[in-house]
Structure 1
Amino acid sequence: MRSFYHFLLTYRGKKKPDEKSKLADWAFFDHNFPKHSTDYDELSSYLEWNSPFTSALVTFDTLWNEYTR
């Protein structure tokens, strides 16, 4: 299974950014983002402490559901 980060990168670079692409762009530029993780708790905890915008955790949960399908 590929990491969540690699899944997330598929949302980068939209001309009209939405919440998903904002999170993807932020993770790309955050050198400490757990790029090799496939663990929900690790990623969720990281975002709780380093949330780039107010709806980032909700966006993460939405993307996590897509990732685990």
Structure 2
Amino acid sequence: MTQRDPVTHDAVKNFANGAFYDQSFPKQSKDFDEISRYLEENGGYLQSMDIFDEAWQQYLAAEE
């Protein structure tokens, strides 16, 4: 959610914006597999799982 930005339109920010508006997205989860599985089944707004992988790496780097 920290990557949300309605002005800038790169792939990760578009994904974050889509996840924000997805009422069922597991926003509080820190489990890669849970989020990945959710997106595979419900993430129509995500163009590619590679985008999620990139966002996840950014999330992990920010957690350090």
- TM-score, normalised to structure 2's length? 0.80
Instruction: Give 2:46's aligned residue.
Output: 53
Identity, in percent, stands at 40
User: Amino acid of the residue matched to residue 13 of structure 2?
Assistant: S
Highest RCO, 1 vs 2 (Cα 8 Å, sep ≥ 6): 1
Stretches of 4+ moved more than 6 A in 1?
none
Which structure 2 segments of 5+ residues have no match?
none
**Residue pairs, 1:1-69, within 5 angstroms:** 9-51=1-43, 52-55=45-48, 57-69=49-61
2: CA distance, partners of 1:35 / 1:10: 11
Displacement after TM superposition at 1:14 (Å): 4.1
Quick one: structure 1 residues 16 and 35, their matched pair in 2 at CA, closer, same or farther if it must change by over 3 Å?
A: closer
2: CA distance, partners of 1:36 / 1:53: 18
Which structure 1 segments of 5+ residues have no match?
1-8
- How big is the alpha-carbon RMSD for the aligned residues of Structure 1 and Structure 2? 1.3
